[in-house]
């Protein structure tokens, strides 16, 4: 399980690097927009980054799920303990295991549909509108994220880890 946890941590770090790239590209694009406003006063223009929207949309689609496995490792998801703190420990552990299995089921369900979506996108030869990039490869990080999320939840359920 330590390997899966380490992978989740490194995967989240990669997600953070992608998020940083999105922020840098967005900042450059905003700066270009501002420079264009000034340049127009002098009869010139500064163009924004071509394909900015394509890049951000595709990169966000990768990055969004990359933090879920690490969040699961750290039990960073929302947990409602309003009543559970007064339950016997065996019941708290049972409820926690039920929710871990629910999370596992959700991750596998989403994984299944994402694989189908990737196959359909591949078969349709879908391309991003401006940059003309094939869209199906951008499903792969999401698929890996969902698989890793499921693996973490499964490991926690098998080991009987609980958040109490």
Structure confidence at residue 56 (pLDDT): 94
Residues whose CB falls within 8 Å of the CB of residue 30, separated by 6 or more in sequence, listed in order: none
Report in angstroms the alpha-carbon separations of 44 from 16, 34, 38, 148: 37, 13, 9, 50
Res 126 pLDDT > 80: yes
Q: If pLDDT is split at 50, 70 and 90, which confidence band does 33 have?
A: confident
- Who wins on pLDDT, 93 or 123? 123
pLDDT at residue 117, as a whole number: 97
Q: List the structure tokens of 141.
A: 């990080």
- Calculate the alpha carbon distances from 145 to 14, 68, 155 in Å: 11, 7, 15
**pTM for this prediction:** 0.85
């Amino acid at each position: 399980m330590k390997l899966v946890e380490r992978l989740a941590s490194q995967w989240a770090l990669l997600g953070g690097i992608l998020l940083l790239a999105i922020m840098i590209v967005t900042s450059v694009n905003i700066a270009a927009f501002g420079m264009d406003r000034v340049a127009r006063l002098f009869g010139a223009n500064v163009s924004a980054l071509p394909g900015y929207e394509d890049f951000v949309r595709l990169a966000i689609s990768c990055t969004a799920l990359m933090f879920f496995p690490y969040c699961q490792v750290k039990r960073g998801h929302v947990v409602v303990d309003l009543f559970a703190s007064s339950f016997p420990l065996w019941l708290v552990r049972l409820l926690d295991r039920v929710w871990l299995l629910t999370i596992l089921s959700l991750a596998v369900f989403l994984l299944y549909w994402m694989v189908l979506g990737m196959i359909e996108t591949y078969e349709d030869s879908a391309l991003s509108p401006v940059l003309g990039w094939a869209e199906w490869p951008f499903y792969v990080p999401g698929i890996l994220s969902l698989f890793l999320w499921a693996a973490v939840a499964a490991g926690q359920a098998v080991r009987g880890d609980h958040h109490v």
